Amino acid sequence: MTTLTELSNKYESSSVVWELDNNEFNVADGVYKFRTTMFDYNNPNADNVFMVWESELPVTMTQGYMNVDQACAAAAHLIDSCGYWGRFLESIEFDEASNTFDISIGS
């Protein structure tokens, strides 16, 4: 797993489009991280191997609702880090094993 802490600022949270119907999730209140599985599009020498990317940016859940601004910032961090060109936050699913949210980004 690649842990990411720096942004190259190619994408900002305002670049991400929230495509979900709502921000309500059946998850306990707390602070979580986002993960995605993508290729390393920034590395032209990388083989076509999926990598798990995890953002260190916090995403807060309060009374069953996700903070959308934080979610978009964490998604932008992941998009920026792996070099993917998509900008639509299409799905978010909670992974109990890792205690993170797995996201899907579309173009």
Per-residue model confidence as pLDDT tens digits over 58-88: 999 999 999 999 999 999 999 999 999 999 9
Give residue 103's pLDDT: 98
Domain boundaries, the chain: 2-106
Closest to 98 in 3D by CA, of 1, 19, 6:
1
For the stretch 18-67, pLDDT in tens is 999 999 999 999 999 999 999 999 888 888 889 999 999 999 999 999 99
pTM, whole model, 2 decimals? 0.87
> Residue 90 is which amino acid?
E
Query: How many CB atoms within 10 Å of residue 63?
Result: 6
Nearest residue to 38 (alpha-carbon basis) of 97, 98, 83, 100: 83
